[in-house]
Structure 1
Amino acid sequence: MELEFIGQGIEPGIGDTTGDVLLESFKKPGFTSFRAFVAFVSVSGITNLLDELNEFRKSGGKVKLFVGVDLHSTSKEALELLMDEGIETDIVYSPNNVIYHPKVYAFEGPDYSRVLVGSSNLTARGLFQSMEATVCVTVEKNKDREGDAFIQEVYDHYNKIIDGKHTSAKELSPELLDVLVANKVVLPEGENRAKQNKINKEYSKVPSGSNHELLKAFGKVKLSRPPKGYKKVIEKNEVEVGASEKVSINTEEIEIQTNSMWIETRKMTGGSMNQLDLSKKGKLKGVQIDGSISFFDVDPEDPNDTVNIDLELGGKNYKENPVQFRDGKKDNKNWRILLKGITDKGHKLTTISRNNLGYEGGFVNKILLFTRLQGNKYKLEILDKSDIEILKEHSTTWGFMGNETTGRAYGFT
């Protein structure tokens, strides 16, 4: 019996993650079946395993997942992806609030068994980024009595679910998903994000002064990049704003992480070309989705609600950028961000946004990527509009503001 402790996240980039061991196991010739018993599943978790999992299936490997839907942590989009890929899945759920919460991954073959038991859900963060702990047990069959007994205990525990005899386990189908969505057990990712924003606004909003105190008390842990994470090198551009000053408007490297939103700018408005319109709702192929305003901690139904956000761009922290409702004349009523923040040293975000010496404003005809850092602080990246297709590809939800032909695109990751 081989025992391996997999600790991840405390020192990112050092040692294997749970996801790494799963990917290696799919490629191991001796395994012919894979079962996962997991509480939460995300699109990012599936896509980071999908290539290797599909190769495993093509070579004759059998795959079945037993997925939980408690606490709104498994999204509608993740379950749709499992069905689209033809991955056999059972939903495990109890209407009387008995939570299904395991993280167990089991491989079987003629000669070897392997079981991973730990804290990693089938999400990109759980498998590759968060501070998690997993024990991997590999047993050579019929040569290790203690190991065989351990594997048998795992299967004895889950056999009623595996055999379809437990009332809490039902095969995932479009009809079952409709029931789960209609009863708010499973939410679309956009709706769940809006719910979390509302909770954050009511209970967890951290004042900027507290942010500073927390950052003094705790150091940040750098996130590792999942194998199928998006990483793209962008050419650095500069806007000359005076004889002695140049302002960088693009970072050299863009990496999309979870809890981000991107939005196509096209022509910005305002005298300094610094007003970015947001939307309450969006559409894709006739289906309504949450608008871009849902990413920020405001109530889209309350025009009096407002929030000031800090934006970290190019190593500078631009404070006090209002997200607010504009109540203009006739149809000119909408949510927007005023990109007008100023750093403690007096650097203005409008230096980048306004037209300068023949250059159009730094936000015009670009894509802005917002990533939540903490509380009301966000990282802002400026991407070229040519990156829009790869952004769509790596989004869990995306759509258009207004008309699907002429409206501006936006998406959530």
Structure 2
Amino acid sequence: MELLSQPFTGQLGDRLIDLLDSGNYHTLHILVAFAKTSGVLRIKSAFEQFRSRGGKVNVIVGIDLGGTSHEALTSLLINTDSLAVVHSENRQTFHPKIYHLQGDEGDLLIVGSNNLTGGGLWTNFESSLIVQTNDSEQNSDPLNSQLRDYQKILAGLKNSFLNISNQSDIDTLLHNGYLLKEVDAQVRLANAAGKRGPSKRLFGNGTPAPIPQLSATKPNNPAGAKPITTPPPSPPTLPISQLDWQTIWFETRRMTGGSRNILDLSASSLVSRGDPSGTPFDLGDPKLMRGSVVFFGLDPIATGQTKDIVLNFEGVDYEGNTILFPTGANANGTWRLQIKGISAAKQKITDVFPPKDPDYYLMNKIAAFTKINDNYYLLSIFPDTDLGKFETASKILGHNGQTLQAKRVGLL
């Protein structure tokens, strides 16, 4: 028996990845209140490898209080063997945090406060009790029996227990207001905080708690993107768990390219509101900041670089989206992100877009990128009618270039 006091005596995310990789277990059951891509995308490679060896992953998750996102459920649907949600219409919150690993030589039961989020698995102050359990032909461990009984009770809740069998089940929850997209939730929270006005900080920054950067050395890991061809001087960076703006958004307007899938990225940007001083975007001028290409880990002035990034769109990773500074007759003097990645199933991201819109899907939209690390980003698309909400929510707001006519860009 062990008490894991995160982050002081370890981090549950790292422990789970090691346990799944150990070969000692064949099934993982997860029952949690909340799931976000910050946790799911960082552990899904371990899920993939565990399942490729015959392992099973079963998840039951709550959808209360905005704690579980549309994107997280979408990724879980793809990377688990069964997925279900629990919700009560009388404001009764589903709030357990249980991880149960079953193996031929014994089980491991983890019960505590850790949700399936980046904070819950790595950066938050959390505590979990880790207990060895074991079923045999003669006896069933009381804890295992009680957990099985609990799962049966949940499954018997009828209209408060929903098995998620396809993407339309998740989309139905989104369209009826039971889920939000993660960037939409960020925008709403930021706007609500703005209405309350500024407040005085009364506490410190806690204790350092690293979060995985999805090492490219692991197989099947979406962070294994092609490296920058000419390493540039690194811009100032902050640990991702402490970076205030993990999301950047762009007004797309008409886009460029034959499929309207090329997004211009500025080398420098006109600032409308906010202060980039002391951030990776600091240009030493309050009216200007380093351009949006910095968000993707590139030096704006080192125009000989190219870089491939992975975009996770609706739960699927698409590799080979290239950032470059074009030259030649068709160059427009700015950086470009070519949204042209291909999934492990050999499907092009541009082939996913057309069914969603008879015209060019990315045109006249808001494209938001949430950083998982410098090679891996969550892509979310919103209608341009939401532009005012995005502008109000942004900590730094500007133009994707140095003129007032340039498209809008913001950091959340």
- TM-score band, normalised by shorter chain: 0.5 to 0.7
- Displacement of 1:52 in angstroms is 1.7
Cα gap change, 1:24 to 1:221, in 2 (>3 Å): same
Work out which of the residue numbers 158, 169, 172 in structure 2 matches 1:176.
169
Aligned to 1:191: 184
- Does the 8 A contact of 1:8 with 1:132 survive in 2? yes
Aligned to 1:124: 118
String of CA shifts for 1:286-329, please: whole Å, max 9, x gaps.
99xxxxxxxxxxxxxxxxxx964463237xxxxxxxxxxxxxxx
User: Quick check: 1:206 aligned with 2:198?
Assistant: yes
- Does the 8 A contact of 1:124 with 1:226 survive in 2? no
- Does the 8 A contact of 2:251 with 2:408 survive in 1? no
Gaps of 5+ in 2: 216-222, 262-271, 312-368, 370-374, 385-405
Aligned residues: 301
Aligned to 2:2: 4
Aligned counterparts of 1:310 and 1:220: Cα–Cα separation in 2:
24
Aligned to 1:275: none
Alignment map for 1:63-212 (pairs within 5 Å): 63-85=57-79, 87-142=81-136, 148-162=141-155, 166-172=158-164, 173-203=166-196, 205-207=197-199, 210-211=200-201
The residue type equivalent to 1:17 in the other structure is Q
SS in 1 for 2:4: strand
SS in 2 for 1:81: helix
- Does the 8 A contact of 1:112 with 1:139 survive in 2? yes
SS in 1 for 2:172: helix
SS in 2 for 1:198: helix
Aligned counterparts of 1:397 and 1:412: Cα–Cα separation in 2:
14
Alignment map for 1:222-237 (pairs within 5 Å): 222-226=208-212, 228=214, 235-236=232-233
- Displacement of 1:395 in angstroms is 2.3
- Displacement of 1:86 in angstroms is 5.2
Aligned counterparts of 1:282 and 1:38: Cα–Cα separation in 2:
42
The residue type equivalent to 2:309 in the other structure is E
Aligned to 1:357: none
SS in 1 for 2:35: coil
Aligned to 1:332: none
- Displacement of 1:54 in angstroms is 1.6
Aligned counterparts of 2:25 and 2:33: Cα–Cα separation in 1:
24
Aligned to 1:246: none
Alignment map for 1:5-404 (pairs within 5 Å): 5-9=3-7, 11=8, 15-85=9-79, 87-142=81-136, 148-162=141-155, 166-172=158-164, 173-203=166-196, 205-207=197-199, 210-211=200-201, 214=202, 217-226=203-212, 228=214, 235-236=232-233, 250-251=235-236, 255-257=239-241, 260-261=245-246, 263=248, 279=251, 308-309=274-275, 311-313=277-279, 349-350=284-285, 363=290, 366-368=293-295, 383-384=299-300, 386-387=306-307, 389=309, 394-398=376-380
- Does the 8 A contact of 2:135 with 2:144 survive in 1? no
- Does the 8 A contact of 2:251 with 2:407 survive in 1? no
- Displacement of 1:137 in angstroms is 0.7
String of CA shifts for 1:256-303, please: whole Å, max 9, x gaps.
447634559xxxxxxxxxxxxx6499999999xxxxxxxxxxxxxxxx
- Displacement of 1:48 in angstroms is 1.6
Aligned counterparts of 1:383 and 1:114: Cα–Cα separation in 2:
47
Q: Which structure carries more strand by proportion?
A: 1
- Does the 8 A contact of 1:398 with 1:410 survive in 2? no
- Displacement of 1:408 in angstroms is 7.3
Gaps of 5+ in 1: 238-249, 265-277, 288-305, 315-338, 342-347, 354-361, 370-380
Aligned counterparts of 1:412 and 1:394: Cα–Cα separation in 2:
17
- Displacement of 1:67 in angstroms is 1.1
- Displacement of 1:157 in angstroms is 2.2
Aligned to 2:326: none
Give the structure-2-normalised TM-score: 0.61
- Does the 8 A contact of 2:56 with 2:80 survive in 1? no
